[in-house]
């Protein structure tokens, strides 16, 4: 069986709108792959234009084993990256960071950097929609957390508070994103509920 975009199905299990825990847990997909597939679906159906931001890299050395194949042997990050994804949906600027953790009880705030937080604050100041997509891979659970909520935990950490967000807190303050066949991480459905 093939997906609508022509790729082969990576699982022999049923492909329906069921949750990850009911048949998609062993597909070998990462959060980034699921979001990229979701964004492809959004673009192909003219719902939204959201892209993964490339990380700016300075290439220093290239090896040419043959004319048709160049191999980059040395490169450096030019500058710290901001967030993972950005684009436009319903005339609004969208900007978000996606993080996956194997931790069972908490999401460590060390996974986020201060320059990312500063970037998100700027997006919010200019009226953009900014959020986090957090996945607990052990439970196959994915959550949408608005930046405004996440920033309150970040600010507590900066002021000497705990350096993580407990799983149960994310369950209460975030929005669970169920797995879907085409839009695997259908975050636009939550944006519709919260912002439109």
Helices (H), the chain: 31-44, 114-125, 147-158, 167-173, 187-195
State how far the Cα of 47 lies from the Cα of 41, in Å rounded to an integer. 8
- Ligand-binding site membership of 116 (annotated): yes
Helix axes 114-125, 147-158, angle to 10 degrees: 140
Spatial separation of the C-alpha atoms in residues 58 and 77, rounded to whole Å: 6
Q: Which residues make Cβ contacts (< 8 Å) with residue 149, sequence separation at least 6?
A: 173, 174
Q: Is 192 known to sit in a ligand binding site?
A: no
Q: Is 97 annotated as a binding residue?
A: yes
Asked if residue 82 belongs to a known ligand binding site, the reply is yes
Annotated binding-site residues read 82, 84, 97, 116
User: Which amino acids are annotated as binding site for Mg(2+), given as ranges?
Assistant: 82, 84, 97, 116
């Amino acid at each position: 069986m093939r997906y609508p975009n022509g790729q082969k199905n990576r699982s022999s299990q049923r492909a329906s709108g069921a949750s990850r825990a009911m048949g998609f847990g062993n597909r070998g997909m990462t959060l980034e792959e699921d979001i990229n597939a979701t964004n492809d679906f959004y673009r192909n159906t003219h719902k939204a234009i959201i892209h993964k931001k490339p990380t700016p890299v300075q290439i220093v050395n290239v090896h040419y084993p043959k004319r048709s194949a160049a191999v980059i042997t040395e490169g450096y990050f030019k500058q710290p990256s901001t967030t993972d994804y950005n684009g436009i949906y319903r005339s609004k600027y969208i900007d978000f960071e996606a993080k996956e953790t194997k931790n069972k009880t908490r999401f460590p705030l060390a996974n986020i950097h201060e320059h990312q937080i500063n970037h998100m604050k700027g997006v919010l100041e200019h009226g953009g929609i900014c959020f986090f997509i957090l996945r607990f891979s052990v439970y196959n659970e994915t959550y949408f957390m608005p930046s405004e909520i996440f920033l309150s935990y970040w600010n507590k950490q900066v002021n000497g508070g705990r350096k993580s967000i407990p799983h149960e807190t994310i369950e209460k303050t975030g929005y669970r994103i169920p797995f879907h066949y085409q839009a695997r991480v259908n975050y636009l459905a939550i944006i519709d509920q919260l912002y439109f």
